[in-house]
Structure 1
Amino acid sequence: MQIFKVGGAVRDRLLGLPVTDIDWVVVGATAEEMLAKGYRPVGADFPVFLHPQTGEEYALARTERKSGRGYGGFTFHASPEVTLEEDLIRRDLTINAMAEDDQQNLTDPYHGQRDLEARILRHVSPAFAEDPLRVLRVARFAARYAGLGFTVASETLELMRQLSESGELEALTAERSWKEISRALMEDQPQVFIQVLRDCGALKVLMPEVDALFGVPQPEAHHPEIDTGLHTLSVLEQSALHKQPLTVRWACLLHDLGKGLTPEEAWPRHIAHEHTGLKLIKAVNERIKAPKDCQELALLVGQYHTHGHRALELKASTLLELLQSFDVYRRPQRFEEFIVACEMDARGRKGLEQRSYPQADYLRGAASAARGVAVQPLLEKGFKGPELGEALKRERLKALKAYKENA
């Protein structure tokens, strides 16, 4: 029995990055031997075991063969005869197909170290094209390592393109897709993920509503970058630079979908795109099965982001309606996420990345003014039920009018 550290732990150590998760491969062992040593079995499809002390995953060396469609369409074979090289060849990228023993002696049959040094994401073997999930994984690695200068090898991008055109991507479950998409959006450069998906034709399969934004112009006065797709990538980039949470990043990606529906004869203006885009945001949310908090914020940002930009001009009554729409009294955090999404949208424009955004503090002040209206005095005056609600609304409107006068 031989045990090797494999995959990301080896890759990140060689890159000088922190190693978080460690995967191990066991060569020359049977499941019975693992159980006898106290390892606990997990995973129904292939033999993976948890170490009795550390809880880390140890997998028996295995081969795999395509047997059906999609991510799960594989049969696995594990036996003591499977070599380390045979196990490594089934992995996605050369930089993930390296192993080392307990003396840090490297096994690198597919030249992963060479590709690390050349900053290339390259597939290990033609079997790469058998697993559609790898399209998303490679795009995610591109987003993670873009800051180090990594790019996708042209031949790998071609295989990803073939996968995108094959219909295999449709076989991915929404749960698997979302897991990769959400992880990619939280990388340092999530805009690279979207760009790579577009480069290989996967974006128009997975999120055609986002893909449709590229080539759609906007007024240059407000959008020096002009192209709506490029603007969306810039907004996403800003959300990562400012360390925003997943909810905000998802909303940033989807906020302008309505512009993809504007008739060409109306370009570059996009009248009422906030409302026309809602059905598209809803469609993406449901197809990808994003979590409820991501879905809700994306819809609210889509509908109201232009309100955010015009906050200083809004009437007190419109401000009140905006605050009510976000249920700002019970869910203040959601309104805060809306504010920062609007700020990312304002900054995601060519040459305007450092612009100030006074609307943010103005909206926070408005929310604070409305929340500052006390209920108790109204109860003491005898208001209750619907009448109490109307009285509260009147007092909040009065507070917002006073706030506007003094702002």
Structure 2
Amino acid sequence: MQIFKVGGAVRDHLLGKPVTDIDWVVVGATTEEMLAKGFRPVGADFPVFLHPKSGEEYALARTERKSGRGYGGFTFHASPEVTLEEDLIRRDLTINAMAEDDQQNLTDPYHGQRDLEARLLRHVSPAFAEDPLRVLRVARFAARYAGLGFTVAPETLELMRQLSESGELEALTAERSWKEISRALMEDQPQVFIEVLRECGALKVLMPEVDALFGVPQPEAHHPEIDTGVHILSVLEQAARHKQPLTVRWACLLHDLGKGLTPEEEWPRHIAHEHKGLKLIKAVNERFKAPKDCQELALLAGEYHTHGHRALELKPSTLLELLQSFDIYRRPQRFEEFIAACEMDARGRKGLEQRSYPQADYLRGAANAARTVAVQPLLEKGFKGPELGEAIKRERLKALKAYKEKA
């Protein structure tokens, strides 16, 4: 039995980056031997075990063969005869196909170290094209390591293009796709994820609503970058730069989908794109089964982001409607995330990245003014039921009028 550290732990160690998760491969062992040493089995499809003390995952060396469509369409074979090199060749990228023994001796049969130095994301073998999930994974790695100068090797991009055209991407489950998308959006440069997907043709398969934004012009006076797709990439870049959570990044990606529906003869204006885009945002939300908080913020940001930008001009009654829509009294965090999405949208414009966004503090102040209205005095005056609701609304409107006059 030989044990090797493999994959991301080896890659990140060689890059000088912190190693968080460690994967281990065991060569020359049987399931029975692992169980005898106290390892606990967890793999349903292939033999993976948890270490009795550390809890880390140890997998028996295995080979795989394509047997059906999609990510799950593989049969695996694990036995003591499977070599380390045979196990490594089934991996996606050369930089993920290296192994270290307990003496830190490197096994690198597919030149991963060379590609690390060349800053290339390159597939290990032609079998790469058998797994559609790898299109998303490579795009995610491109987003993670773009800051270090990594790019996708042309021949790997070509395989990703073939996969995108093959119909295999449609076989991916919503859960697997969302896992990769959500992780990619939380990388340092999530806009690179979208760029790579677009370059290999996967974006128009997975998110045609986002792909449709490229080439759609906006008024230059408000959007010096003009192209709506380029704007979305810039908004994502700002969201990452400002360390926004996943909810905000997802909303940033989808907020302008309605502009893809504007007839060409109306360009570069996009009248009512906020409302037109809601059905598209809903479709993307459902396609990937996004978490509820991501779905809700994306829809609200899509509908109201222009209200956010025009906050200082809004009538108190419109401002109150906006606050009610977000249920700021029970869901204050959601409104704060909406403000963040609006600010990222404003900063995601060429040459305006550093411009201040006074609307943010104004909206926070408005929310606080509405929240200061006390319900108890109205109850004491005998208001109840629908009448109480109307009385609270009147008082909040009065508070917002006073706030607007002071501001």
Whether these two folds match at TM > 0.5 is: yes
Q: In structure 2, how many angstroms separate the alpha carbons of the residues matched to 1:184 and 1:47?
A: 28
CA RMSD of aligned residues (A): 0.3
Q: In structure 2, how many angstroms separate the alpha carbons of the residues matched to 1:50 and 1:178?
A: 26
Hey, what does 1:403 align to over in structure 2?
A: 403
Hey, what does 2:195 align to over in structure 1?
A: 195
Q: In structure 2, how many angstroms separate the alpha carbons of the residues matched to 1:182 and 1:9?
A: 21
Q: In structure 2, how many angstroms separate the alpha carbons of the residues matched to 1:352 and 1:156?
A: 36
* Deviation string, structure 1 residues 141-171 (Cα, Å, up to 9, x no partner): 0000000000000000000000000000000
Task: Give the drift of 1:397.
Answer: 0.1
Q: In structure 2, how many angstroms separate the alpha carbons of the residues matched to 1:359 and 1:38?
A: 60
* Deviation string, structure 1 residues 308-366 (Cα, Å, up to 9, x no partner): 00000000000000000000111010000000100000000001000100000000000
Task: Give the drift of 1:288.
Answer: 1.0
1:122 aligns with 2:84: no
* Deviation string, structure 1 residues 247-285 (Cα, Å, up to 9, x no partner): 000000000000000000000000000000000000100
Task: Give the drift of 1:102.
Answer: 0.5
Q: In structure 1, how many angstroms separate the alpha carbons of the residues matched to 2:367 and 2:77?
A: 60
Task: Give the drift of 1:25.
Answer: 0.2
Task: Give the drift of 1:194.
Answer: 0.4
- For structure 2, the residue ranges without an aligned partner over 5 or more in a row are none
Q: In structure 1, how many angstroms separate the alpha carbons of the residues matched to 2:49 and 2:247?
A: 34
Hey, what does 1:377 align to over in structure 2?
A: 377
Task: Give the drift of 1:43.
Answer: 1.2
Describe the SS at the equivalent of 1:295: helix
Q: In structure 1, how many angstroms separate the alpha carbons of the residues matched to 2:349 and 2:252?
A: 13
Describe the SS at the equivalent of 1:268: coil
Describe the SS at the equivalent of 2:52: coil
Describe the SS at the equivalent of 1:110: coil
Task: Give the drift of 1:205.
Answer: 0.4
Q: How does 1:27-106 map to 2 (within 5 A)?
A: 27-106=27-106
Task: Give the drift of 1:88.
Answer: 0.1
Describe the SS at the equivalent of 1:223: coil
Q: In structure 2, how many angstroms separate the alpha carbons of the residues matched to 1:280 and 1:315?
A: 29
Q: In structure 1, how many angstroms separate the alpha carbons of the residues matched to 2:103 and 2:222?
A: 58
Describe the SS at the equivalent of 2:223: coil
Q: In structure 1, how many angstroms separate the alpha carbons of the residues matched to 2:107 and 2:353?
A: 45
Q: What is the aligned length?
A: 407
Q: In structure 2, how many angstroms separate the alpha carbons of the residues matched to 1:283 and 1:48?
A: 37
Q: In structure 1, how many angstroms separate the alpha carbons of the residues matched to 2:332 and 2:134?
A: 39
Q: In structure 1, how many angstroms separate the alpha carbons of the residues matched to 2:17 and 2:266?
A: 49
* Deviation string, structure 1 residues 194-236 (Cα, Å, up to 9, x no partner): 0000000000000000000000000000000000000000001
Q: In structure 2, how many angstroms separate the alpha carbons of the residues matched to 1:222 and 1:259?
A: 14
Q: In structure 2, how many angstroms separate the alpha carbons of the residues matched to 1:49 and 1:283?
A: 39
Hey, what does 2:259 align to over in structure 1?
A: 259
* Deviation string, structure 1 residues 44-90 (Cα, Å, up to 9, x no partner): 10000000000000000000000000000000000000000000000
Q: In structure 2, how many angstroms separate the alpha carbons of the residues matched to 1:303 and 1:139?
A: 29
Q: In structure 1, how many angstroms separate the alpha carbons of the residues matched to 2:288 and 2:19?
A: 30
Structure 1 stretches of 4+ moved >2 Å: none
Describe the SS at the equivalent of 1:244: coil
Q: In structure 2, how many angstroms separate the alpha carbons of the residues matched to 1:36 and 1:281?
A: 52
* Deviation string, structure 1 residues 80-120 (Cα, Å, up to 9, x no partner): 00000000000000000000000100000000000000000
**Percent identity of paired positions between Structure 1 and Structure 2:** 94
Describe the SS at the equivalent of 1:26: strand
Q: In structure 1, how many angstroms separate the alpha carbons of the residues matched to 2:193 and 2:290?
A: 17
Q: In structure 2, how many angstroms separate the alpha carbons of the residues matched to 1:289 and 1:50?
A: 30
Q: In structure 2, how many angstroms separate the alpha carbons of the residues matched to 1:70 and 1:401?
A: 57
Q: In structure 2, how many angstroms separate the alpha carbons of the residues matched to 1:24 and 1:403?
A: 61
Task: Give the drift of 1:244.
Answer: 0.3
Describe the SS at the equivalent of 2:69: coil
Q: In structure 2, how many angstroms separate the alpha carbons of the residues matched to 1:60 and 1:234?
A: 44
Describe the SS at the equivalent of 1:345: helix
Task: Give the drift of 1:291.
Answer: 0.5
Hey, what does 2:275 align to over in structure 1?
A: 275
Describe the SS at the equivalent of 1:397: helix
Describe the SS at the equivalent of 1:75: strand
Task: Give the drift of 1:388.
Answer: 0.5
Q: In structure 2, how many angstroms separate the alpha carbons of the residues matched to 1:62 and 1:287?
A: 33
Describe the SS at the equivalent of 2:365: helix
Q: In structure 1, how many angstroms separate the alpha carbons of the residues matched to 2:262 and 2:375?
A: 45
Q: In structure 2, how many angstroms separate the alpha carbons of the residues matched to 1:106 and 1:330?
A: 55
Describe the SS at the equivalent of 2:330: coil
Describe the SS at the equivalent of 2:229: helix
* Deviation string, structure 1 residues 364-395 (Cα, Å, up to 9, x no partner): 00000000000010011001111100000000
Q: How does 1:302-321 map to 2 (within 5 A)?
A: 302-321=302-321
* Deviation string, structure 1 residues 273-305 (Cα, Å, up to 9, x no partner): 000000000010011110010000000000000
Describe the SS at the equivalent of 2:77: strand
Q: In structure 2, how many angstroms separate the alpha carbons of the residues matched to 1:78 and 1:337?
A: 47
Q: How does 1:174-189 map to 2 (within 5 A)?
A: 174-189=174-189
Q: In structure 1, how many angstroms separate the alpha carbons of the residues matched to 2:167 and 2:284?
A: 18
